[in-house]
Amino acid sequence: MPEGPEIAREADRIRDAVEGKRVERVRFGLPHLSRRARAFDDARVVSVRPRGKAMLIGFDNGLTLYSHNQLYGRWFVRPAGTLPSTRRQLRMAIETRDRWALLYSASEIDVLDEVGLAMHPYLAKLGPDALDPELDATSVAERLEDPRFRRRGLGALLLDQSFVAGLGNYLRSEIAFEARLHPDQRPVDLRAADRRRLGRVTLKMTRRAYETGGVTLPASRAAALRRAGDSWARARHWVFARARQACRRCGDTIARFDLAGRRIYVCPTCQEMR
Ligand SMILES: [Zn+2]
């Protein structure tokens, strides 16, 4: 599933294609939404915002198009009048004079007014967004002390969108590694310095992944690996998807296990349980 950084980059592409423009037509592939399409005739796109793993596209008619891609949804941007060659089902099309933004395969799509936006069950549960430039590391560290979160294992907590929105499976492994914390540790067991570091690292890794398109290694390190012949995928992470390979910091063997139903990767030395 795409994580916050991937959704944010997708939002950038869609924003570039349609924001500020008047739509000629909005089309829906889901029958229960088709009757809402006329409400968008001549409306202007005023905002394209990622929120957690959802996309919010706001219009000057007061309506917002909500979509969540889940596992299969995929956005395409095409010159007006052209469609991508795909066997997927078109679910939503935002058509402006020169560019079309097209969402395929996603099934979670909704048309929301201001109240609907405020009451939406997924959005209402979301914590602050890791990619929100207003969010600082201190606030994240303080959330770790919140009674809702302080006794949860870090491995489960880092996937909980009500803690910080936008983190997903590869970020969870990479953040725990960079913070030198074992995913079984709980915020309540950490020293204040560990919580502060975890707060900083959470934002740093998510923002880096946004800037690089999913690479969590420092840029210089990833570039050196590429020069030495590694593929993009192999020069991407500290530990994620690197089971039985050597830790890039200490040389110990990276272990994989399942936590909260998803795979997680840990260096037993760098992330020793304290
Ligand atoms: Zn290590």
Using pLDDT thresholds of 50, 70 and 90, give the confidence band for residue 82: very high
Ligand 1 centre and the CA of 133: distance in Å?
31
Ligand 1 centre and the CA of 109: distance in Å?
42
- Radius of gyration of the chain from its Cα atoms, rounded to whole angstroms: 20
Let me know: does 265 contact 173? Beta carbons within 8 Å: yes
Ligand 1 centre and the CA of 180: distance in Å?
9
Whether the predicted pLDDT of 212 surpasses 90: yes
Ligand 1 centre and the CA of 268: distance in Å?
7
Q: Is 10 a catalytic residue?
A: no
- Write down the architecture of domain 4-125 according to CATH: Alpha-Beta Barrel (3.20)
Q: What's the pLDDT score for residue 100? A: 98
Ligand 1 centre and the CA of 224: distance in Å?
19
Q: pTM (2 decimals)?
A: 0.92
Let me know: does 198 contact 144? Beta carbons within 8 Å: yes
Tokens 């960079």 locate to: 178
Q: Is 272 a catalytic residue?
A: no
Using pLDDT thresholds of 50, 70 and 90, give the confidence band for residue 151: very high
Mean pLDDT of the chain: 95
| CATH fold group of domain 137-266 | Helicase, Ruva Protein; domain 3 (1.10.8)
Q: What's the pLDDT score for residue 53? A: 85
Using pLDDT thresholds of 50, 70 and 90, give the confidence band for residue 71: confident
Pick the catalytic residue from 10, 50, 53, 208.
53
Give SS3 for 172: helix
Using pLDDT thresholds of 50, 70 and 90, give the confidence band for residue 52: confident
Pick the catalytic residue from 13, 262, 263, 268.
262
Mean per-residue pLDDT, 46-65: 96
Dihedral (C-alpha) 146, 150, 151, 153: value to the nearest 10 degrees?
A: 130
Q: What's the pLDDT score for residue 77? A: 97
Q: Is 99 a catalytic residue?
A: no
Domain ranges of the chain: 4-125, 137-266
Dihedral (C-alpha) 127, 128, 131, 133: value to the nearest 10 degrees?
A: 180
Ligand 1 centre and the CA of 159: distance in Å?
22
Pairing of strands 99-104, 108-112: unpaired
Q: What's the pLDDT score for residue 225? A: 97
Whether the predicted pLDDT of 158 surpasses 80: yes
Rounded CA-CA distance 88/90 in Å is 6
The strand ranges marked E within 69-187 are 74-79, 90-96, 99-104, 108-112
Ligand 1 centre and the CA of 13: distance in Å?
37
Please report how many Cα atoms fall inside a 13 Å half-sphere around the Cα of residue 255, on the Cβ side: 13
Tokens 């409306």 locate to: 43
Q: Is 262 a catalytic residue?
A: yes
Using pLDDT thresholds of 50, 70 and 90, give the confidence band for residue 260: confident
Ligand 1 centre and the CA of 173: distance in Å?
13
Q: What's the pLDDT score for residue 273? A: 85
Rounded CA-CA distance 150/205 in Å is 21
Ligand 1 centre and the CA of 160: distance in Å?
26
Whether the predicted pLDDT of 274 surpasses 80: no
Whether the predicted pLDDT of 85 surpasses 80: yes
Q: For the segment 96-110, what is each residue's pLDDT rounded down to a tens digit?
A: 999 999 999 988 999
Rounded CA-CA distance 90/93 in Å is 7
